[in-house]
């Protein structure tokens, strides 16, 4: 822990990659593992463009219920530790796979949202995107002013990540002295590919996760535990 803390303290270019695990202690369910959303629901039925095409109302009901649950939770000590770290670094990028908005609510500024934002909606007809924070939504599926159907502003399986966001994440990762990987199973690509990318570029890679991931054994440090407990120890 001491060595990892020093690496983080001394680096001037830091990238953090987060996943659902960092929000778990706020009461947000993860996708995989114990209590994960994919234990209860099939990803193919809910998180693909095909699923939305087949049954937009069903997909929206799921998102509406997750949005409503999210409206009642707060960022935790892990989110706050990362916001603190940002204030001390010349170059800091927080790359998150999460769509819950909790990093911004904790005060993080330079956040790259690889999988979009559950608090935005996009029109399938005219492409316009806007914030939508009402919970629950008054009408499902919601409609755009143009009459088109709105969809959640998130990235589903089989869809490309927002190009500019992904390019900035890659660039920051290639230039990072330290990559801190928190609460992600590191199984969904291309996001997980940032881990080997940083290793190959010579960065120190530190992981915080309750469980092992496919990368754990090859990293500079891999800590088992809760993000809300580990991060305040790493970032004092
Ligand atoms: C804690 C903790 C605590 C718990 N403290 N830790 C082979 C077959 C089929 C497809 C593919 C394939 N190979 C690659 C693909 C592509 C696919 C993919 O990667 N699939 C894999 C599953 C195999 N990827 C895509 O489709 C992506 N797009 C793409 O590749 O486009 C290419 C393209 C180019 C050009 C044109 C067209 C296409 C898109 C991926 C989108 C992912 N979307 C989701 C849903 C987002 C919206 C929503 O929220 O509903 O994103 S799926 C879901 O997984 C969500 C997450 O962001 C993502 C990653 O999950 P994450 O964050 O890692 O969470 P978990 O639950 O997996 O892990 C939690 C971890 O926390 C665990 O390790 C716990 O131990 C830990 N933990 N409590 C610390 N307190
Ligand atoms: Zn429209």
Query: How would you write the pLDDT of the chain (236 residues) with one tens digit per residue?
Result: 999 999 999 999 999 999 999 999 999 999 998 889 988 888 888 999 999 999 999 999 999 999 999 999 999 999 999 999 999 999 999 999 999 999 999 999 999 999 999 999 999 999 999 999 999 999 999 999 999 999 999 999 999 999 899 999 999 999 999 999 999 999 999 999 999 999 999 999 999 999 999 999 999 999 999 999 999 999 98
* Contact status, residue 204 vs residue 14, Cβ threshold 8 Å: no
- Ligand 1, atom 77: nearest CA belongs to which residue? 21
The Cα 16–Cα 86 span in angstroms is 10
Tell the CATH topology of 29-72+117-154: SIR2/SIRT2 'Small Domain' (3.30.1600)
Pick the CATH number of 1-27+75-115+161-236 from 3.30.43.10, 3.40.1190.20, 3.40.50.300, 3.40.50.1220: 3.40.50.1220
Where does ligand 1 bind, in terms of residues with CB under 6 Å?
Answer: 19-21, 24-25, 30-33, 36, 47, 97, 99, 115, 154-160, 183-185, 187-190, 208-211, 213, 226-227
Instruction: Name the residue of 30, 51, 211 whose CB sits within 8 Å of the most ligand 1 atoms, as the mutation to test its pocket.
Output: 30
Distance CA 8, CA 81 (A): 12
pTM of the predicted model, to two decimals? 0.97
pLDDT at 33: 82
**Tokens standing for 194?**
């940032």
**Region(s) of the chain under CATH 3.30.1600.10:** 29-72+117-154
CATH 3.40.50.1220 intervals, the chain = 1-27+75-115+161-236
Q: Could you tell me which of 108, 236, 94 has the C-alpha nearest to residue 179?
A: 94
Among residues 194, 205, 155, 187, the alpha carbon closest in space to that of 172 is found at 194
């Amino acid at each position: 822990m001491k060595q990892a803390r020093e690496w983080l303290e001394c680096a001037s270019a830091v990238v953090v990659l987060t996943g659902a695990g960092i929000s778990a202690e706020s009461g947000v369910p993860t996708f995989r593992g114990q209590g994960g959303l994919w234990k209860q629901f099939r990803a193919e039925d809910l998180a693909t463009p095909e699923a939305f095409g087949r049954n937009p109302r069903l997909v929206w009901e799921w998102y509406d219920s997750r949005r409503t649950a999210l409206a009642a939770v707060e960022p935790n000590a892990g989110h706050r530790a990362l916001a603190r770290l940002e204030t001390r670094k010349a170059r800091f990028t927080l790359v998150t796979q999460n769509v819950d908005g909790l990093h911004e609510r904790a005060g993080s500024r330079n956040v790259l949202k690889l999988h979009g934002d559950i608090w935005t909606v996009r029109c399938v007809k005219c492409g316009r995107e806007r914030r939508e924070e009402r919970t629950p939504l008054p009408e499902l599926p919601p409609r755009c002013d143009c009459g088109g159907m709105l969809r959640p502003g998130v990235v589903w399986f089989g869809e490309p990540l927002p190009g500019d966001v992904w390019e900035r994440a890659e660039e920051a990762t290639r230039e990072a002295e330290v990559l801190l990987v928190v609460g992600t199973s590191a199984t969904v690509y291309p996001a997980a590919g940032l881990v080997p990318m940083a290793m190959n570029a010579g960065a120190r890679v530190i992981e915080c996760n309750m469980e092992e991931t496919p990368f754990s054994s090859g990293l500079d440090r891999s800590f088992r535990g809760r993000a809300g407990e580990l991060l305040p120890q790493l970032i004092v």
